Amino acid sequence: MRARSLSSNEARAILALEADRREVVTLADLQKLVGTTPGYARKLAHELVGKGWLERTRRGVYLLNPAQHGPDALPDRDPLRLGSRLADPYYFAYATAAELHGLLPQAGSVYYVATPQRSGLRPFGPSQFRLVHQARSRFFGTEPLRRRGRELVVSDLERTILDCVDRPDLSGGMGGVAHIVALAKPALGWPRLGRYVDRVPKRSLRQRLGYLLEVVRPTTPAPEAWLRRMRPDARAPYVPLGTPALYGRRGPHDPTWRIVRNVSDSDLFAEGRIP
C-alpha cells in the first residue's frame, strides 16, 4: 500500500481537521482551512481522496480517514460510521434498525438508511447501503443510539415496527417481520405506536400491523383498547398480509382485521414461534 504522504497544503488541512476532531469535511471547509479558491479546494479534495485521507460520502462532503487508521490508505470498515454520513438528515431503518435494537440476530449484507434525499443502492468500500426515500413529513420517531463509541440516529422501537411491517422486503421478509414483532412486543409503548400509526394515512398498513400484533406472540397480548381503536370498519376492503407478487392473493380471510392470510405459517414463523 502507498504511504499517505502529504504536501504542505494537504498537511495544513488534515492537521487542522484532526486538531478539531472533525470527522466530516466539506469543500467549503477545505477552502477556508487552506485559504484558497473553490477550484483548488476541489483539487485538494480529489488528491486527499486518492491518498486515502478522505472518503467521499456524497457530493461535496467527505469523511476523514485519520492518522490513527495507519500509514497506508486503508478504507474505513465501520459501516455504521459510513452510513451515518451518507445523508443529512438520515436514520438507520428497517432491518438495520431492528438489528441495532436487538430484534434480529445479525446485520445483513445491506445497511438501510432512510433519507429525504435520492434513494438507491450505494456500494461503499466493503459495505453496501440502501438509501430509502422517506418524505420529510414522515421523518419522526427517531432517537440517538450510541454504538461502537459513536452516536447514531435510528428509528425508535415503535417506528421500527411500523417501518418493518410497511416494507417486509427491507426487513427480512414476512418471517423476519414476525420475529421482529414478537421480540419487540413486550417493550412497545402502545400510546406512542398508536400516534405513529395515525400519522401514516395508510389503511392497509394499519390492518396488517394490528393483525400481526394480535396473532404473533399471543401470550403477550396487545391492550384490548388499543386493538379496538385500530380495527377497521366491517365494510373495509380486504388487504393481503404479504406482498401478492411473492405470496399470491389467496388464503383464509380474517373478518376482524379484513386481512387475506396469504402467508403460510411456515413462512410467517420461519424463524420459529415465540410464545
So what's the pLDDT on residue 144? Answer: 96
Percent of the chain topping pLDDT 70 = 93
Q: Using one digit for the tens of pLDDT, what is the confidence trace for 190-207? A: 999 999 999 998 999 999
What average pLDDT does range 15-43 have in this prediction?
87
Q: Using one digit for the tens of pLDDT, what is the confidence trace for 137-153? A: 899 999 999 887 778 99
Q: Given this structure, which CATH class describes domain 8-69? A: mainly alpha
So what's the pLDDT on residue 266? Answer: 95
What average pLDDT does range 46-56 have in this prediction?
85
* Per-chain mean pLDDT for the chain: 89
Query: 210 versus 33: which is more confidently predicted?
Result: 210
Percent of the chain topping pLDDT 90 = 57
Judged against a pLDDT cut of 70, whether residue 223 lies above it is answered with yes
Judged against a pLDDT cut of 50, whether residue 1 lies above it is answered with no
Query: 113 versus 15: which is more confidently predicted?
Result: 113
So what's the pLDDT on residue 54? Answer: 86
Query: 106 versus 133: which is more confidently predicted?
Result: 133
Cα–Cα distance measured from residue 18 to residue 46, given in angstroms and rounded to the nearest whole number = 19
Q: Using one digit for the tens of pLDDT, what is the confidence trace for 63-117? A: 888 776 655 555 556 788 888 988 889 999 999 999 999 998 776 789 999 999 8
What average pLDDT does range 263-268 have in this prediction?
96
* Residue 53: pLDDT band with limits 50, 70, 90: confident
Span(s) in the chain for CATH 1.10.10.10: 8-69
